[in-house]
Amino acid sequence: MKPPKSWSILEDEKQKSRILVQMDSRYVLLDAKTKQAFEMSASQIRAHGKNYESADPADSEKPLPSEDWDMRDIGPAERIQARLTTNNILLDVELPHPLNLRIP
């Protein structure tokens, strides 16, 4: 399988454990809290800059087969890993922590 020509990551505005991975024209929602992945269509997503909104896919979609879930803090970022078993795709996403710019 060839790597995607374009990709991006969008964060859920309300649930930080959910991220949307766009790979070319394919959208995969990773829910690290429930350890589930869902394929989504572009019509189900409303992007707002680096964030997005969508209906809860657990209500209407069947999860993609996945395994090897891991979510951990790796210092400057939060790392989410999951393997989509149907295509044997390992998703490894690192989300930087927001900068704390408060002056003491």
CA 32/CA 21 separation, integer angstroms: 13
SS3 7: strand
pTM above 0.85, yes or no: no
pLDDT tens profile 25-57? 888 999 988 999 999 888 888 777 777 777 777
**Would you state the pLDDT for residue 83?**
94
C-alpha angle with apex 39: 53 to 60, nearest 5 degrees? 70
pLDDT tens profile 60-76? 678 999 999 999 999 88
CA 87/CA 39 separation, integer angstroms: 13
**Would you state the pLDDT for residue 64?**
93
Domain coordinates in residue numbering, the chain = 7-96
Q: What is the separation of C-alpha 10 from the centre of its chain, rounded to a whole number of angstroms?
A: 7
For 37, the token pair is 């992945």
